[in-house]
Amino acid sequence: MNKTLKLMLAALITISAGSVMAQPKNVDNWVNSTGTPWRNGDGTLCWRDATWTPATAAANCDGWLAPKPAAAAKPAAAPASKVAQKKITLQADTLFDFDKSTLKSEGVATLNKVAQDVKKMKLEVVIIVGYTDSVGSDAYNIALGQRRANAVKSFLTNDGGVEATRVYTESKGKADPVASNATAEGRAKNRRAVIEVVGTQPVK
């Protein structure tokens, strides 16, 4: 063996030994003293030692198991909600003077509280039904009950901030009495506005 060949072999052995010594403990590809993996002639493959596994491959070498990207955080679940349905009966004498459809100050205070309760939920619909006692004709009582239901709606939507498109009104006049119309006390109970509210609200 000539001197030149001996020098080349010695250099190759030295480089190979240095590569193995410089190799990190958790990497089983041959690397040089700077930690760069040794590759084949066209640079597509990295040299491996006898204990190589995909788990111990150098980064970006063939067979390397690239770390999986962190899973995207799941969006926070929407708060649970439940269907809420309320039926509120207000005596007409609290809201209006006898045979009138203009709200009294006492009625305004009462409806303010109703509006605040309604706005605490995700509203679906509000139905306001006006009722009267049996005094007067059917046609008159239907009209009076409708005017009173409309007055309640007007306050809830214009002053109370309730969405107008979700509020409906009707009158049933003297129908469906809850007490006898033979007494003043009974007639007073029959003069009423019934407000039914349907929506959803968070579960506590």
Stretches where the chain sits below pLDDT 50 are 3-24
- What is the structure's pLDDT at 10? 43
pLDDT at 152: 96
Residues 11-14: contacts with CB within 8 Å, 24+ apart?
A: none
Global confidence as pTM: 0.61
pLDDT at residue 203 in the model:
66
Residue ranges and CATH numbers for the domains of the chain are 3-56 (no CATH), 81-202 (3.30.1330.60)
pLDDT, position 13: 42
First to last CA, the chain: 90
Give residue 25's pLDDT: 53
- Strands in 122-131's sheet, in edge-to-edge order, are 81-91, 192-202, 122-131, 167-173
The pLDDT tens digits for 122-167 are 999 999 999 999 999 999 999 999 999 999 999 999 999 999 999 9
pLDDT at 162: 93
Task: Identify the pLDDT of residue 23.
Answer: 42
| Length in residues, the chain | 204
Per-residue CA distances from 145 to 29, 79, 108, 175 (Å): 90, 40, 18, 11
